[in-house]
Chains A and B, each alone.
Chain A
């Protein structure tokens, strides 16, 4: 699967800002990134969606994470169901 240039930039921005997000926002807070920066945050996904829509930033390419969430950059899974 190929991500768009905008998506790749948002992924890069998230990894750069991941520690900042986790230390700045309460755990579980929904945070949106686009254009290399944080553009909105809210207590719920639904609320965040409304905020983004009101600002005209409701593209599906906007990247959303939860502060303190489990977002490893890479992972080695052991489950035997996965093909190797």
Chain B
């Protein structure tokens, strides 16, 4: 018998079609924002969201960076993906140009997730969609 799939399996979405994940970003007051992020394994940055979302949920500031598409404000997020049991602080950025670029593909998208965040879990894809699942636990 095939065990039930644990994680997210999300059909590609947008024009052009994009792989994506659904995450929660927790604010200091305990509330959270759920956001869909385009997956970009070529990005060296864990998270990039809108500047407004950074301001709303970031716990602390972090190093800013000037990129070829504009200023990116650094901050620390609490990233939660319940389906893969991920709950951690992670460094990321607020950048409205990246946010706008993501939304050009689909209005549901709120930014992107890059390789450093994806390495915290397992990920992959097929002809129909993109999936994530919990990271394998290493033996102590």
Binding site for B on A (CB under 8 A): 1, 3, 7, 10-11, 14-15, 32, 45-46, 49, 60-66, 69-79, 81-84
Contacts and interface: CB of A to CB of B under 8 A. Distances in A.
Contacts of A15: 63
A65 B42 CA distance: 22
A7 B74 CA distance: 11
Q: Is the interface of A mostly helix, strand, loop or mixed?
A: loop
Given A62-B61, A71-B65, A83-B97, 8 more contacts: A1-B51, A11-B64, A63-B63, A70-B44, A75-B67, A81-B18, A81-B105, A83-B104
Contacts of A1: 51, 71, 73, 94, 96
Interface of B: 18, 28, 38, 40, 42-44, 51, 58-69, 71, 73-74, 76, 89, 91, 94, 96-98, 100-102, 104-105, 112, 116
B63 A82 contact: no
A15 to B, nearest CB: 8
Contact of B76 (A11, A45, A77): A45
Given A60-B59, A83-B104, A3 B64 contact: yes
A28 B98 CA distance: 27
Contacts of A10: 61
Given A60-B59, A66-B91, A77-B43, A82 B98 contact: yes
Contacts of A60: 28, 58-61
Contacts of A14: 63
B4 to A, nearest CB: 32
